Each structure stands twice: as C-alpha cells, then as structure tokens.
C-alpha cells in the first residue's frame, strides 16, 4: 500500500533561530509589526510503500532519526495517511 | 488577542526539487528504498497580535505573499489558532 507522510521539523524552543529572528525584523519593514516570534523549520512530504500504517510509521520514524532531523537542534512530528 | 499561525510553504508540484531528490537518493543508503518522492519545503510558525481571527488571517496572507513565499516557485497554506 502507498502512504504519504507529512513531516514537520522545527528548531527546539530553547534555541535561538537566527533565520526566524531576521524574518521577524523584516515584518516591521513590510508594515506588520504585530507579527512576532517567527520560527522557521522544514516541512517534508514523502511517499512510502508499506504493508500497513504501522510499518509506514516505523519507516518515517527511522528516516527522521537517521537522516531528516538533527535531534540536537531540532524536534519533529509527523502524520502518515493513505496516499490518494 | 494573540494568535498563532502555522504556515507550510512547498515547492510547486510541477517543479523539480533538487534538495528533495538528493534526500530521496539518501534513503537508499540508510536502507529505506521504500521511501520515494521526497519534497522539502518550509514550516514557519509565528505569533500575531490581532483583534480577531479574520484580521490575523489577513496578516498571515500578506506576510506569505510579500515575504515568506516565492509564488513563482512555491505554494503555501496555513492555519491560524488562538495562542495558548
């Protein structure tokens, strides 16, 4: 069966996010000072061929831990759905 | 009122995503050839001070169009929730 995973990888809350800080500053310049605390992470989508959802979840977990997320600096969450 | 926006910015489906292609290749190397079609975009969270949800939505829309997304290459979607 084919599944689709939607993965969010964000910098840890406790860490500075220089890219987000820069964008927060830029919000002033485009007239949106009401927007603050911008944090920028990664959004990853992928397709998985697996027998069931449990196996698909396991594969996504492995991919996040081994390759996609840097657990020292980032945390991740994901959802797996049956691909249309 | 304080709102929180969760924004996803992804490369258009029709476009090549070289970063995603590279990661798809790497999946083979970590023993997950079942994972294909990796696409990598941005996940952005931010806080907004607005009188109601409609105004917050409008600000996020403006921020995406003017600053966060490159509409030639990327599409975006977002949700706005009341901040805890």
- pTM > 0.90: yes or no: yes
Q: pLDDT tens digit string along A31-64? A: 999 999 999 999 999 999 999 999 999 999 999 9
The answer to whether B68 touches B76, Cβ cutoff 8 Å, is yes
DSSP B25: H
Indicate the fold that domain A2-82 takes in CATH: Mth169; Chain: A , (3.30.1280)
Cβ of B43 within 8 Å of Cβ of A40? The answer is: yes
- Cα-Cα-Cα-Cα dihedral of B22, B36, A59, A72, to 10°? 20
Name the token pair of B5. Answer: 């926006």
Give the span between the Cα atoms of B10 and B17, in whole angstroms: 10
Contact across the interface for A32 and B8, Cβ inside 8 Å: no
Give which of B34, B49, B52, B66 to mutate to test A binding, by max A Cβ within 10 Å. Answer: B34
User: With an 8 Å Cβ cutoff, is B32 touching chain A?
Assistant: yes
Tens-digit pLDDT string for chain B (84 aa): 999 999 999 999 999 999 999 999 999 999 999 999 999 999 999 999 999 999 999 999 999 999 999 999 999 999 999 998
> Distance between CA atoms of A37 and A13, rounded to whole angstroms?
11
ipTM of the complex: 0.92
């Amino acid at each position: 069966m084919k599944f689709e995973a939607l993965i969010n990888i964000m910098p840890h809350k406790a860490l500075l996010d220089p890219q987000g800080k820069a964008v927060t500053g830029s919000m002033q310049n485009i007239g949106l000072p009401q927007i603050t605390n911008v944090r920028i992470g990664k959004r990853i989508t992928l397709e998985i061929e697996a027998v069931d959802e449990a196996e698909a979840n396991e594969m996504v977990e492995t991919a996040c831990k081994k390759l996609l997320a840097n657990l020292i600096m980032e945390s991740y969450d994901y959802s797996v759905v049956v691909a249309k």
